[in-house]
Structure 1
Amino acid sequence: MSAIQESAQALEQAIRNSEEFNGLKDAYDTVMNDEIAKKMFDDFRNTQLELQQKQMQGEEITEEEVEKARKVVETVQQHEQISKLMEEEQRVNDLINEISRTITKPLEELYGSQEG
């Protein structure tokens, strides 16, 4: 195994042990253990996936579908546990984006030096 792969595995473990990931896991478990919250969250995720699939296939998303999605989002945002889950998910996404910027820095510097 290369040093880079070993570093990637160490990074994976660091993410698993991070405050951000553990906050997300706790929030996820809380939602999954609440029958009503779980159903609402599943409906939200299914609506998201349906719209993403239509977009990827180049299909038109109807005004009715947009309105349905908007209502689903409003509903889940009002649920305290799901709202907390979404906040924790954003924290993990921010962490991963920061890591991504760090590990792609050599490429940015290489290609960025060609400008000008």
Structure 2
Amino acid sequence: MVNIYDDLNKLEATFRKTEQFTALEFTIEEVKKDADAVALFSNFRKMQLTLQEKQASGEELSEEELQYAQKTAQLAQQNEKINAMLLAEMEVSAVINEITSVIIKPVQALYDSIPDAE
């Protein structure tokens, strides 16, 4: 029997060694060294989580909340260290998306094998 978790643990170890992950790790360390960046990012993250919770529960977002979210995001992105971290995060996300698409291929192939009704 195949133990997929052994392979997943190997994948995790390899993922941690990628250029994208190490770049994210470095940019996070740079943010952590800057109290202003930490405060900005903390505020940005709290705002994101609050908005996501409201959207998930079906609550409408007020105009004030949307404006606050936009301003908070702009302030965070204007900080060089946070902006570098967010760009590095996008690169990591791209790798994760590639991994996901490779893993999902066999499942998609199964569904694709179902003939179309005519």
- Structure 2 length as normaliser, TM-score? 0.94
Aligned to 1:64: 64
Give % identity: 38
Question: Structure 1 92/115 Cα, relative in aligned 2: closer, same or farther at 3 Å?
Answer: farther
Aligned to 1:50: 50
Aligned to 1:85: 85
Structure 1 ranges of 4+ moved more than 2 A? none
Question: RMSD over aligned Cα, in angstroms?
Answer: 1.2
Q: What is the total number of aligned residue pairs between the two structures?
A: 116
Structure 2: state its 5+ residue gaps.
none
State how far apart, in whole Å, the 2-side matches of 1:34 and 1:48 are. Answer: 21
The alpha-carbon deviation at position 108 of structure 1 amounts to 0.5
Residue correspondence of structure 1 range 15-54 to structure 2 within 5 A:
15-54=15-54
State how far apart, in whole Å, the 1-side matches of 2:18 and 2:27 are. Answer: 14
Structure 1: state its 5+ residue gaps.
none
Letter in 2 for 1:78: Q
